[in-house]
Structure 1
C-alpha cells in the first residue's frame, strides 16, 4: 500500500513529435545545362558555408549570347551619339561617358537618369530602353545558373551528380540549417490558454537520456474537429539534434494543491480507488484532475489513507487483505 500524503503537485502537458529543420531549402533548377561544379562534393551530409556555391550549371553558351547582346547595345549607343550631340548637346557628354563604361564581359551599368521628358522619349524611340532591359533580363537569368547557399548548412538530399544534364523544374536536392529545429506538437485544446509565445518547453529524446530547452514560437488557434487539439510550434537549438528525431515535450501548466499521484491503472470507473480500512478493501471516490500516460493526479483522499499500490486480482469492497511490509 501507499500512504496518502497530499501536497502541491505540478502539472505538465505532454506531447510528442519529430524534429524538422526550420530553415530548409528545396533545390530546383530554373534553367537547362550540365551540372559542372560545386564548392563541395554535392553528397548528402556535405557541409556548405553561407554564400558558397551549392551547384553551378554550365552557362558558357548563355554568356556568349549575353556578350553578343551587349555588343549590339554598344552599337546602338555609338549610332545614337551623333544625334545627341546635334539635338541634345547638354546631355551628350553624359551618354558618351556611359558608352565608355559599357563592357561586353561585365554586367551592364545602370542607365543615366533622364534630365527631361524630351530626352527620355528620344532615347526610348531609338529602342535603347528595350535593349537595355532585355540585357538586364538575360543577366538575371544568368544568375540562375549558380545556386548559392543562403545560410551555412548541410545537404540532406542530392538527386544529381556532376556531369548530369539538368532541366527546368528538376529537383536537385535539399539543404537545411542544422542549427535550428522546429517541433510541431498537438495539444489538447483545453490547455490552449497555457500555450503562449515565449513559453519554455522541456524536451527529451525518447530514451529520456538527453534533454533540451525549447520555446513556443507559434500557436495555431484552429481546433482540429476530429481530435480537439491545436498545433503548437517549438523552436529548439542544441547539440545532438537531428532531422526527423522523435522528441517528447513537457509544457509546465499549473500546480494543483492537496493532490496525490497514483498509478492510472488503479482507478475504478475513472473516479474510484481501492483503499484499506480495518484490513478490508473499500472504494473511495476521488476527483481526477490530470492524467499522464501512466499516472493520475487525484483529489479527495485524506492524508494517511492507505491506497493499494498495485492491482489486486478479483478485488471487491469488503475483501479481507493483509498488509505486507
Structure 2
C-alpha cells in the first residue's frame, strides 16, 4: 500500500517538473527570438532647381504648295501646237504661255469692234471741238492713241453735258463691246500666274477644248504651308510669328518656318485647333510629311519632369527625412513624355525613377549617384 502511494506521489512530482520545464523553455525562446529588421528602399534622387523652361511643342503634318491652281478652259477652241509641249514637269516663268488655243475667230471679232469704236470716236471729234472746246485736246489725243494701237479706256469727265453727248453718240457702248472682245481674246492664251511647273497635264495638241474642261494643274515653287493642330492647352502658348523647326525623316532635310495663320475655331471631331506654318524652301516637295517643334514662350519658376514620375496625374513623391511625402503640382504643359510643372521648392529631393509600390510614409535610403 505504501509503495503504491509513493508511486503516485512520484508521478505527480514528475508531471509538475515537466510542466515547469516547458514554461521555462517557452519563455526563453520568446526572449531570445531576434527582432524583425525593417528594410529601406534604396533610390537615387535629383535636387529641384526651378528656373525658366523654354517650351517646345511637338508638331507634325503634310506640306502643300501655297500656290497651286487647277487650269480650266474659259472658251472653246483647238489646242495649238506649241514649241514647248504642255507636259508634267515643265517649268515656266511668270507670264509665259502655258496653253495656246486657236483664236482666229475671236481675234477677227476684236479687230472689227475696235475699228468700229475708232470710227464712232472719229465722228464725234469735230463736234467736241465746236461744242466742248476745252475737252478737245484730251479726246483728240485719245483718238490718236487708239489709232496707234494703244488700247485705253475713254477719258473720265466731270462735264455732265459732255457725258450725255458721248453716251447718245454710242461712244461708251462701242468701247464696252470692243473691251469685252479683247478680254475674251486673252482667254485663248493661258499664262503662268507665277513661277512654277506643271504637275498634271490632261490635254494634247490638236485636241478640241471646251468651256469648263480641266486642262491640268500648275504649282508654284519654293512656298509651302504645313497644316498641324494643337490641344486646347497648347494653343494659347503659340502666337503668330513663332519659329518652327522641322525635318523630314525620308530625306533628312531640315527646315525652318513660322506660324502665319491660326484658326480661332476648334475642330469638333478632334477637339484641337488648327495652325498653319509657312515654309520657303525649294527642296520641299508637295505632300511631304514633316516633324518638328514650335519654339514657344519661356515659363518662369518651373521645372521639366518625366511623366512617369507623376502620381495621381498632378502630384509627385518627394523625400523628406528619409521617408516619402507627396507634393501637389501645377501642370503648365504636357507632352507624351514630359511635363512642365510648378509647385516644387528649390532643394526638394525627387526620385530619378518611378518607385514600385511607393506610398506616403515609405522609408527610403538615398544612395549616391
Over 3 Å counting, the alpha-carbon distance change for 1:283 and 1:30 in structure 2 is farther
Over 3 Å counting, the alpha-carbon distance change for 1:254 and 1:227 in structure 2 is farther
Residue 59 of structure 1 corresponds to which residue in structure 2?
Answer: 103
Over 3 Å counting, the alpha-carbon distance change for 1:265 and 1:240 in structure 2 is farther
Residue 164 of structure 1 corresponds to which residue in structure 2?
Answer: 207
Q: Shift of the alpha carbon at 1:162? A: 2.5
Residue 178 of structure 1 corresponds to which residue in structure 2?
Answer: 221
| Structure 1 unpaired stretches of 5+ | none
Q: Shift of the alpha carbon at 1:235? A: 0.9
Residue 71 of structure 2 is aligned to residue 27 of structure 1: yes
* Partner of residue 260 from structure 2, selected from 210, 217, 229: 217
Q: Which moved more, 1:174-183 or 1:208-217?
A: 208-217
Q: Shift of the alpha carbon at 1:134? A: 0.4
Q: Could you tell me whether the CA contact under 8 Å between 2:229 and 2:273 is conserved in 1? A: yes
Larger Rg: 2
Query: 1:63-102 to 2 correspondence within 5 Å?
Result: 63-76=107-120, 80=123, 84=127, 88=131, 90=133, 102=146
Larger helix proportion, structure 1 or 2? 2
Over 3 Å counting, the alpha-carbon distance change for 1:113 and 1:256 in structure 2 is closer
Q: Shift of the alpha carbon at 1:245? A: 1.1
Q: Could you tell me whether the CA contact under 8 Å between 1:3 and 1:303 is conserved in 2? A: no
Over 3 Å counting, the alpha-carbon distance change for 1:27 and 1:5 in structure 2 is farther
CA RMSD between the two structures: 4.3
* Partner of residue 42 from structure 1, selected from 86, 90, 110: 86
| Structure 2 unpaired stretches of 5+ | 1-42
When normalised by structure 2's length, the TM-score is: 0.68
Residue 30 of structure 2 corresponds to which residue in structure 1?
Answer: none
Residue 16 of structure 2 corresponds to which residue in structure 1?
Answer: none
Residue 7 of structure 2 corresponds to which residue in structure 1?
Answer: none
Q: Shift of the alpha carbon at 1:239? A: 4.4
Residue 14 of structure 2 corresponds to which residue in structure 1?
Answer: none
Residue 189 of structure 2 corresponds to which residue in structure 1?
Answer: 146
Deviations, residues 139-161 of structure 1 (Å, cap 9, x unaligned): 11111111222221122222222
Residue 231 of structure 2 is aligned to residue 188 of structure 1: yes
SS at match of 1:223: strand
CA distance in 2, matches of 1:273, 1:46: 61
Q: Shift of the alpha carbon at 1:255? A: 3.8
Residue 261 of structure 1 corresponds to which residue in structure 2?
Answer: 305
Residue 46 of structure 2 corresponds to which residue in structure 1?
Answer: 4
Deviations, residues 107-130 of structure 1 (Å, cap 9, x unaligned): 644446669555543443233332
Q: Shift of the alpha carbon at 1:39? A: 7.0
Q: Could you tell me whether the CA contact under 8 Å between 1:40 and 1:47 is conserved in 2? A: no
Q: Could you tell me whether the CA contact under 8 Å between 2:124 and 2:169 is conserved in 1? A: no
Q: Which moved more, 1:126-135 or 1:138-147?
A: 126-135
Query: 1:308-323 to 2 correspondence within 5 Å?
Result: 308=353
When normalised by structure 1's length, the TM-score is: 0.75
